[in-house]
Structure 1
Amino acid sequence: MARKKKTRYVCQECGYDSLQWLGKCPGCGSWNTMVEEIVPEETQGAGKGGVRLGLSDAQKPQPIAEVETRDLPRFTTGSPELDRVLGGGVIPGSMVLIVGDPGVGKSSLTLEACAQVARQGKTVLYVTGEESTRQVRMRADRLDALADTLLVVSETNLETIEAHIENTHPALLVIDSIQTMLRPDIASAPGSVSQVRECACTLLRIAKTHGIAAFLIGHVTKEGSLAGPRVLEHIVDTVLYFEGERNAEYRVLRAVKNRFGSTNELGLFEMREAGLVDVPDASKLFLSEREADSGTVIIPTVEGTRPLLVELQALVAPTPYVPPRRTSDAVDIKRIQLLLAVLEKRVHLQIGACDVYVKVAGGIRIDEPAADLGICVAMASSFAGRLLRPKTIVFGEVGLSGEVRAVSQAELRVHEAKRLGFRHVVLPRKNYEQIADGVSGITLYGAATIGEALKLAMPREERG
């Protein structure tokens, strides 16, 4: 008599499973995402049923003080920006997940990295599940990414891919994309929770066992988050988000998880006809088209260890409509509303009834508190129609009572401004007291309140 197959219902958004179908997932609250999947039969492991496992000395628990801590070997991808975000290069045996919108350049970035690694004499295996090998070759011709040890195969069956890995012994493996991979022993469609999770676990085992660095390319949902189960982010060692509008000139690579480096680093790329090009001096590039005008402020942000000067623009205009508009694709709208309330309450600017538009040149998104003071100064400058002091940068955190609070890495921000030819800095009073003696060649103005900062940034004798 044939054994009846066990089934369960799994949410395709978060991976929550249930014995019965539910209209709304209890895990993530999504509707109509529960899909029936067949549960694979469990096999009894070697450690079950009273069988004693033999452990080698390397597998036995040991005191933490005796664990080796030597630096992990790394090899470069040929891209300083990608190496920076990864923490200094690629570690053999690590698994990196690269996520981004369709057309943002994920495949181009990884193919260029594959070619650079192959030119170092290492074998690279590029597995594509979405394109043919001819399409990959056409892209490689355009990117000048041809190398003798760069191998490409179009395959989705994970068992076949594992056989290719055993035969080629690559140093770097690229899977494009993880949502197209299929394990034949799992009775569900490619891209489902079970397939994505089990394929990722299998690839992780292969990478760790053979010391292969693996890059997985993943899709995103319409909300911009990783498509598929959230458990995928926990399986891999590093998660990189590749951001940027399809028609925009610049791309930003951010690490949201990194077991071998910092998650605060940022990589910048310029999209050209011949592919992605590293942008080593982004501050100079973002400021190259700058023109002095009211509502324009230069603010220094810090991403990891990298200072970055960006141009922030604000446009404040009266409007007869209620409620007034607050629009920005670079700064959180709730943050703008909070800073507008501080300006109206503490500085008595009648700015609440105006439309407010905030933009950052180059498409960079700003989310650190050090930009608060720059945003306030830009909005006040546009509202009053006054220019800032020439060659001035502004930074600091703004509190609800109107005080300007100190921020981290103030000296690093000041030195970057000095390198690019700025002569004046408006910064929090506490930061001024900490670094004033160690900085020369640039004038510092310490502000304790937002009203004081506005007077220092826009002195009346330099009215526009």
Structure 2
Amino acid sequence: MAKVKTQFICSNCGYNSPKYLGRCPNCGEWGTLVEEKIQPDVVDRKSRVSLTGQLAKVEKIDKVAVQDQPRVKVELGELNRVLGGGVVPGSMILIGGDPGIGKSTLLLQVSGQLAKTGGLVLYVSGEESAVQIKMRADRLGVGGTDFYLYPETDMSLIRKQIEELKPDYVIIDSVQTMQEPDITSAVGSVSQIREVTAELLQIAKTNGITIFIVGHVTKDGAIAGPKMLEHMVDTVLYFEGDMHHSYRILRAVKNRFGSTNELGIFEMKTNGLNEVDNPSEIFLEERIDGATGSAIVVSMEGTRPILVEMQALITPSVFGNAQRTASGLDRNRVSLIMAVLEKRANMLLQNQDAYLKAAGGVKLDEPAIDLAIAVAVASSYRDKETKMGDAFIGEIGLTGEIRRVSRIEERVAEAEKLGFKRVFIPENNLKGWNPKGKIQVVGVATISEALRRAFDEDGNDYKARNKTNPYRISQENE
């Protein structure tokens, strides 16, 4: 009997090693190498052959026939936004997210909507029976004569059904449960996921079938399986949210047919996922009047301006090293802004613990949020509240200057639409622009100037307002 040959494959990056290694030399992760049998080579097994038997051929680029197929729009406008305007025929879309976040619910709703547009949908489930899916579909009000269910995990049988039905859309829920019969490794292994995805990619590209794939995620939030999985597909979407809250965020981390900066927000209800047309109201609805450590920023998520509350809590450090904790923000960005405040705004923050978050569970990483972070930190440190009608936009440089940001007109217009009275922006953004709205636009050049004008340190009625402020604990000697 011939000896079975094995190899060790990294479940994180797909690196191959003839022997076990505690740490992957390619990606540096520990304990990710898994032993698998070496599969015999199969000649011409991955040739691109369409379901009609047509082989791929070499063509001059000038002779390639381009079929102008419009994008297919679904009823969920938030999904259309994230995809770049709708579903591209023949594309392959990967959706990842935590267990129970609503991936299957989202795709079931999308499947029903695609069936209404005249397309034939094949929903392949490896985790649920047809009865379970039907029960959830009845609750969501999903159905149709061109909507087929197929509870199966064998890729050879799935391909056979695709050849018979010739669907326009295929949903695979999930890729980790599918298996290639020619591969002897366990279901969900690196080899199985790689081969299953390769076959689905071949079906999509040679036949113009749009395929949606559900992917499980690891404890770190990344899609389980080799990183190659994300490289093979056209679009990678992450479905995020808190299990204790009803709001869900859909964002693209890769999109060959659109921007990766777009954001879609949904609310999970009994009848399924509903769109949130004005997310700014959600992020601001629980803001407390008179609370310190709060500042509003107008952030751009793709083409959409969103107002988010920045919250900061600055407290004296009990231990020797001050802590820096951030939720929804880059911790390194927070440390950098606090260093600028200490150097350029005369704030002694090295012995202060700092806790910051972007309220509502949204993640922000653009430079225009710097000024709002700085104002929130200064508000908590000085125990001075910002005005409820103020918003802050601007990038902070290491020398303390406020640098210009993009799309300032749209940001200011969104703040005015939501009833804000005053917005602080970089002074350079005012050059060549004459604001005509009712909102007061304040141009600031440095962080010191921004803080002075935000907290009415030029005089005004600051002391009078703070006499009745229940959130004020103590007042600095000015």
- Please confirm whether the aligned pair reaches a TM-score higher than 0.5, indicating the same fold: yes
Distance 1:67 1:449 in 2: 56
Alignment of 1:167-182 (within 5 A): 167-182=164-179
What is the one-letter code of the residue matched to 2:126?
A: G
Name 1:328's counterpart in structure 2.
326
Instruction: Tell me which residue corresponds to 2:20.
Output: 21
Q: Percent identity?
A: 48
Contact 1:425 1:445 in 2 (8 A): yes
Structure 2 residue matching 1:380: 3-state secondary structure: helix
Q: Does 1:405 align with 2:398?
A: no
The equivalent of 2:250 in structure 1 is 253
CA distance in 2, matches of 1:337, 1:326: 7
* 1:372 Cα deviation from its structure 2 partner: 0.6
Higher mean Cα deviation, 448-457 or 318-327? 318-327
Confirm or deny that 1:347 pairs with 2:345: yes
1:252 is paired with a residue whose SS is strand
Amino acid at match of 1:447: V
The alpha-carbon distance between structure 1 residues 286 and 33, as it changes in their structure 2 partners (threshold 3 A), is closer
Secondary structure in 2 matching 1:85? helix
Counterpart selection for 1:422 from 420, 423, 428: 420
Aligned to 1:338: 336
Q: 1:58 to 1:41 in 2, by over 3 A?
A: closer
Deviation at 1:67, TM superposition (A): 6.3
Given candidates 109, 120, 129, the residue that maps to 2:106 is 109
**Would the alpha carbon gap of residues 357 and 24 (structure 1) be closer, same or farther in structure 2, given more than 3 Å must change?**
closer
The residue number in structure 2 matching 1:161 is 158
Superposed CA deviations along residues 359-417 of structure 1, whole A, max 9, x for unmatched, are 22211111111101000001111222222244111011111111111111111111111
Aligned to 1:445: 442
Tell me the residue number matched to 1:36. Answer: 35
Determine helix, strand or coil for the equivalent of 1:257: strand
Contact preservation (8 Å) 1:126, 1:152: yes
State how far apart, in whole Å, the 2-side matches of 1:47 and 1:20 are. Answer: 28
Distance 1:168 1:67 in 2: 28
SS of match in other structure, 1:367 = coil
Out of 236, 240, 255, the residue aligned to residue 237 of structure 2 is 240
Contact 1:97 1:236 in 2 (8 A): yes
What whole-Å deviation, never above 9, does each CA across 1:319-352 have from its counterpart, x for those lacking one?
4333233222111222222211111111112233
Question: Aligned Cα RMSD in Å?
Answer: 2.3
TM alignment of 1:87-166, pairs within 5 A: 87-166=84-163
Question: Structure 2 CA distance, aligned partners of 1:388 and 1:10?
Answer: 54
- CA 68–392 in structure 1, closer or farther in 2 if over 3 Å, else same: farther
* Structure-2 separation of matches of 1:202 and 1:70: 23
For 1:433 and 1:284, locate their aligned partners in 2 and report how far apart those are by CA, in whole Å. Answer: 30
- In the alignment of these two chains, the number of paired residues is 454
What SS does the aligned partner of 1:328 have?
strand
Letter in 2 for 1:287: L
Aligned to 2:474: none
Deviation at 1:148, TM superposition (A): 2.8
Q: Give yes or no for contact 2:46–2:199 (8 Å, CA) kept in 1.
A: no
Q: CA deviation at 1:292?
A: 2.3
1:419 Cα deviation after fit? 1.4
Contact in 1 for aligned 2:435/2:441 (Cα 8 Å): no
Give the distance between the partners of 1:221 and 1:362, measured in 2 at CA.
Answer: 23
Partner Cα distance (1:21, 1:183) in 2: 25
The answer to whether the Cα contact below 8 Å between 2:312 and 2:376 also exists between their aligned partners in 1 is yes
Aligned residue for 2:364, secondary structure, equals coil
Query: 8 Å contact 1:432–1:445 — kept in the other structure?
Result: no
Cα-to-partner distance string for 1:172-229 (whole Å, 9 max, x where unaligned): 1110110111000011111111110110010111112221110000011111111110
**Separation in structure 2 between the aligned mates of residue 441 and residue 30 of structure 1, nearest angstrom:** 55
Q: 1:400 to 1:181 in 2, by over 3 A?
A: same
Structure 1: segments with no counterpart, 5+ residues:
49-54
**Unaligned stretches of 5+ residues in structure 2:** 48-53, 467-478
Give the stretch that moved more between structures: 398-407 or 349-358. Answer: 349-358
More deviation in 453-462 or 226-235? 453-462
Is the 2:91–2:210 contact (alpha carbons within 8 Å) kept by the matching residues of 1?
A: yes
The whole-number CA distance in structure 2 between the counterparts of 1:23 and 1:289 is: 48
